[in-house]
Every structure is written in C-alpha cells, then in structure tokens.
Amino acid sequence: MVLVAWRRGWMRGRRFFPHHHLGHVALVLCFLCTVGLASCSSPRGGNKRRVVGENSGRNDTAQVAALRSERRRALSWVSGERRLVQDWDGSLDPPQYCFTSPGGMTVKPAKAPRKSPLPENYAKQVLQLAAKDRDCIILSRKCANESSIKHTGDRRLPYFHRYFDPSSKLTEEEKIMRFPDLKPGSWGSCAIVGNGDNMIKGQYGKEIDEHDFVARYNVITKPYAKAVGTKVSGMFDKFNYRIGPHKPDRMPTMYHMYPKRPPKDLDPNLMKGKVPPLLYGSAKSPWRRDASQIYEIFKKVKKPKKKGVHPTGGFLRVMAMVEMVRLGVCTRLDIYGFSTGGGKYFKRKHTVKTDHIIVAEHFTYRLLMASGSKGKVCIYGD
C-alpha cells in the first residue's frame, strides 16, 4: 500500500511524498477505500489487493452493487433539496416553496427580520450545530434493530431494558416490532403546531389541516379551530395541560408523542385510545448539548442579565420533527405557533418565562428554513 511504502521509506530516510502533500494523499486513499477501488487491509496478510473490474470476482461485484444500492436508499431519505451549510449566503428570506401550502393554497411564511439577531459568523456557528445529522433522535424500528446488532447485554439499555419489563415474554424481534417503522415518505407533509398567540392573528387552521401529519400539544382546539385547525396525528404529552379548562378535547390518531411514562412493554393497548407511543432515541442527549451551545453563542453576543437561562422542551420537539424531514419521513415540515415570546393562544397573558432565550430558538428555525440545510422547512407566524 502507498501509505505503508511511504512509512517504510521514511524510516530509511527516503521520502516518497513531500510532507505538505500528505493530507492530499490521505484523502485520496480514504476515497479509494470507501468506493472499493483499493484494498485497505494490512500488508502483513500478503498481497490481497483487488481492483474492481480486474478479475475481482463476483463477490466483489455483488458487494459494490450492494453498497451502491444502500447509498441510493440512504440518499432517497433526503427530502427536497437539502443544501450544504457552506452554501448559505446569509439571507433569511423564506424559500419560494414556503409560499404554497401542501394543498396548493397561497400562504405567507414568517418575514425575514430587518436585522439579524446575530452577526453572520455567529449565525453560521448556530447553523452548523443545528444542521448536524441526528438519525435516532426519534426511536424507530431501524434504530432499535441497529442497536440489537451492535450491542449486547447492558449496552442495550437505551432501547430495551428501559422500556421492557425484565420478565417480559416478548422475543427480541417482537420488541423491535413495537417501535414505529419510519419509512421514507410515510408521514407525508408534516406540521408541528405550538401554542403561540401568533396563531390567532394568522388564522392558520385550514392550511394546517391540509397536512398529512399534524403534531400538536395536548390542549384545547375546538374554540380556536379556525386559527389552529383540528387535525391531530401526534400529540405531545405535557402534564400541566392534562387537567383544567384547557385540557385536550381530541385524541391523536397515530402517536402519543414522548409520554413521560411509556406503557409496560410499549403495549399500545395500555395507552389512551390504544394509540402507540413515540419515543426519543439516542440522539436526544447530543442534541441537548448542541442546544446548550447555541444558547452559549447567543449569551456571548446578547449578554442576558438573567443567569441560568436554558433551552425549552419545545426546542427539542421541533428539532426532532426537523430531523424527520432530513430522513425523508416528512416531505416537508411547516412550523406554526412558535412565537418570539408572546403568550399562548388559549391564555394570552401567560407569557414565556425569562428562563429561556426564545429568540435563539426562533432564529435557529429561521436559519434552517432559509438555508435548506435539512430540506424543506418553513415557519409561519412572527
């Protein structure tokens, strides 16, 4: 192998490549190893180098075909026109597709602010953090299966021991089948509906109900149907909304999203309406660290007076849905009811606590919309 030859030559005092070219050599070798055009095995095992197309045999051909097929499947998960973070030009203007609803209505996305809350260099840092891939932020059957293959025993804690009783009679395959099969396109067009009072002004009900999958909080909807819609595919379970005058008046049709107390063995028959739960996966903790870093960037620039400010729970919920766009489960995601600090549409005097930097979270959504770095994401309401 070239790298081995270089190392041996170096040890004997001969240089095959100038030192400043080593980075380029390494990149080329990594590329060749990835596509299967060069062998990356140790030279101690003999001369086993095989080049595809030069007597490489059927096994290599089949392996390359399988790798290419897997890559095509992976690429098919990416919805819309996902763009690189580096391609973002600093504009916060909504993309053209945000002006048309899934049903073809002409709609108005959130306007670009006159002045960005962050200088462009800091905004790009936020976008880099927000645009990271988090495949298992929602616990799917695919994630559970991969965990089953890779880990054994106590290392399965995130997917198995946490949700299944030690005395469970379910087989491992049956346990995996309890998780949702989040295939590309399975949710179609998606909307996530928050509680912001900007819903009243926007009157978004009709366009929200056009979506195939609508996730919302477990709160009252009927008196506000024209503003917030009535469709409920997935419902976020917030304990403080379960009782009182604003308790939910509808049941989800597909998922109870992130319940505090999942049912034993994830049995949907133990949930209200026999609707299965949807749970966070292993990427939840890494996202929380990234969210804290986003807050640190804002604190560095804005210098808030109050100490101990931290991300809201809604930040995680929105980003989990955003990831469904990148994975292709949602063909697009439209975000409603996440204002920059007003009250709730059903309790307008109840404003957001100063424990959170709401502008940081809202600006992150705007960056994802304007950059297209996760696919088709749109925000409605200022």
Neighbours of 99 (CB within 10 A): 13
Parse the chain into domains and list their residue ranges: 2-76, 85-140+180-380
- Tens-place pLDDT, residues 212-234: 999 998 677 788 889 889 999 99
Q: How many CA atoms lie within 13 A of 115 on its CB side?
A: 2
Residue 174 vs residues 54, 140, 164, 265, 315: alpha-carbon distances, Å: 45, 14, 11, 10, 32
- Whole-number Å distance between alpha carbons of 163 and 149: 18
β-partners of residue 336 are: 193, 380
Q: Once rounded to an integer, what is the mean pLDDT over residues 306-323? A: 89
Q: What pLDDT shows up at residue 7? A: 41
Residue spans of beta strands (DSSP E) within the chain: 188-193, 213-217, 234-236, 255-257, 277-278, 330-336, 377-380
Q: Which of 84-93, 193-202, 233-242, 353-362 ranks highest by mean pLDDT?
A: 84-93
346: left (phi over 0), alpha (psi -120 to 50) or beta: alpha
Q: Once rounded to an integer, what is the mean pLDDT over residues 38-57? A: 39
**CB 184 within 8 Å of CB 77:** yes
Q: What pLDDT shows up at residue 352? A: 55
What DSSP line would sit under 86-98, residue for residue?
GG--S--PPPGGG
Neighbours of 158 (CB within 10 A): 20
- Residue from 316, 283, 318, 286 nearest 140 by CA: 283
Q: What pLDDT shows up at residue 247? A: 63
Q: What is the DSSP letter of 136?
A: T
Q: What pLDDT shows up at residue 304? A: 78
Q: What pLDDT shows up at residue 349? A: 61
Q: Which of 291-295, 303-307, 338-342, 347-351 ranks highest by mean pLDDT?
A: 291-295
The CATH code of domain 85-140+180-380 reads 3.90.1480
- Tens-place pLDDT, residues 169-223: 999 899 999 999 999 999 999 999 988 888 888 899 999 999 999 999 867 778 8
What DSSP line would sit under 301-354, residue for residue?
HH--SSSS----HHHHHHHHHHHHHHTTSEEEEEEES--SS--BTTBTT-PPPT
- Whole-number Å distance between alpha carbons of 254 and 251: 9
- Tens-place pLDDT, residues 132-166: 999 999 999 998 888 766 655 544 445 556 788 88
State yes or no: pLDDT of 71 exceeds 60. no
**CB 287 within 8 Å of CB 134:** yes
- Whole-number Å distance between alpha carbons of 271 and 276: 7
Reduce the DSSP state of residue 234 to 3 states and report it: strand
